């Protein structure tokens, strides 16, 4: 059974750095093609993809936010961490982690088939 769970502070102050952890089970990030992404959703707004880390530790970022984002895996490879620097009230959102697969034979990336329940982060001014 695949599960993902986000954890981190519910409230941060403007200019602080946010650190979120995604703890997962039921799959391995050592499996070729597997990756985990972070996606956020401001209240009442649409989903926005933030970052991705692959089984081989290759990382990708939303170009509009990449200077503020860092994604990493922990040594046990059962957790993925996202840091967001210089937080602002506009970053108030529910942050989700989700799993997907890259199919190297076709060069196609699959859908986000499993999601965490999300972590609401509020940024105070």
Identify the H or E element spanning 112.
none
Please tell me whether residue 33 adopts helix, strand or coil conformation.
Answer: coil
CA angle (11, 17, 19) in 5-degree steps: 75
**N-to-C CA span, the chain:** 40
Smallest distance from another protein to CB 35, Å: 11
Site residues (vs another protein, CB under 8 A): 37, 39, 46-49, 52, 60, 62-63, 96, 107-113, 115-118
When the beta carbons of 54 and 91 are compared against another protein, the nearer one is: 54
Smallest distance from another protein to CB 79, Å: 18
Smallest distance from another protein to CB 66, Å: 10
When the beta carbons of 64 and 76 are compared against another protein, the nearer one is: 64
CA angle (93, 110, 56) in 5-degree steps: 85
When the beta carbons of 60 and 78 are compared against another protein, the nearer one is: 60
When the beta carbons of 107 and 125 are compared against another protein, the nearer one is: 107
Radius of gyration (C-alpha) of the chain in whole angstroms: 14
Smallest distance from another protein to CB 92, Å: 16
Residue in the block written with tokens 């009230």? 89
């Amino acid at each position: 059974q695949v599960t993902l769970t986000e954890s981190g502070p519910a409230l941060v102050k403007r200019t602080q750095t946010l650190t979120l952890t995604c703890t997962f089970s039921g799959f391995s990030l050592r499996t070729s093609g597997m990756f985990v992404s972070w996606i956020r959703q401001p209240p009442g707004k649409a989903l926005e993809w933030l970052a991705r880390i692959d089984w081989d530790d290759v990382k990708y970022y939303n170009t509009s936010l990449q200077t503020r984002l860092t994604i990493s895996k922990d040594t046990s490879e059962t957790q993925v961490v996202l840091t967001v620097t210089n937080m602002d009230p506009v970053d108030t959102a529910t942050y989700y982690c989700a799993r997907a697969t890259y199919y190297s034979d076709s060069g196609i990336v699959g859908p986000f088939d499993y999601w965490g329940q999300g972590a609401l982060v509020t940024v105070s001014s």
